[in-house]
Chains A and B, each alone.
Chain A
Amino acid sequence: DTAVSQTPKYLVTQMGNDKSIKCEQNLGHDTMYWYKQDSKKFLKIMFSYNNKELIINETVPNRFSPKSPDKAHLNLHINSLELGDSAVYFCASSQDGSSYNSPLHFGNGTRLTVT
């Protein structure tokens, strides 16, 4: 019973293409996130959504567009992919995104490679 599931696990594509990563959580959490892990393993938030409403957009290029059709799903669409977009993208969720004692639960990550 996967709590936070994201697909695909690996994504290899060419520059200029458009791609999407899907994420679903079955934890009943109110808040969902996208985090990016760079080649040095540093993790940084990209977006957070609370009940389908955008809370954080961390100065991400507008080629990245999150979509939350309902509070259990948060997809990430990336237009015009660039070499620098190569990274691991993690979806996550938490019970209450406004609370400091609400752990984030991460999906297994999507390794995006842009060639």
Chain B
Amino acid sequence: AQKITQTQPGMFVQEKEAVTLDCTYDTSDQSYGLFWYKQPSSGEMIFLIYQGSYDEQNATEGRYSLNFQKARKSANLVISASQLGDSAMYFCAMLPFYNQGGKLIFGQGTELSVKP
């Protein structure tokens, strides 16, 4: 079964420090896409970063990087130099190869709080 697991319901990080949000996935597909989304308290869903299963290098987007370990089926999000505005819910998601028309599989989310 296709599944995304985020084991950290809540995380705290000090401003300016780095933080890693965990994500493991389960799929039997060889091809798939992994995504991270940010949902601030205002409610919108913001696309942060994408990693393809065949990408050999870890994806990076500004202060966001994805620590992709295919053999361990993990796709952790690393946020460097945390800012107060990073406080939000973060969702890991997967599109399997046979994704049936864009059916994103979401994890439960991790609520990140950045402390000043």
Number of A-B contacts (CB under 8 A): 84
Q: Is the CB of A31 within 8 A of B50?
A: no
Point out the residues of chain B lying under 8 angstroms from A97, CB to CB: 99, 101-102
Number of chain B residues close to chain A: CB under 8 A: 31
Count of A residues near B, CB < 8 Å?
32
Q: Is B45 an interface residue (CB 8 A)?
A: yes
Contact A90-B31, Cβ < 8 Å, known A41-B89, A48-B103: no
B64 in the interface (beta carbon within 8 A):
no
Per-residue CB proximity of A32-61 to B under 8 Å, as 1/0? 010100001111110010100001101000
Q: In chain B, residues 7-43, which have Cβ atoms closer than 8 Å to a Cβ of chain A? A: 29, 31-33, 35, 37, 39, 42-43
Q: Interface of B with A (CB < 8 Å)?
A: 29, 31-33, 35, 37, 39, 42-47, 50, 52-53, 89, 91, 93, 95-97, 99-104, 106, 108-109
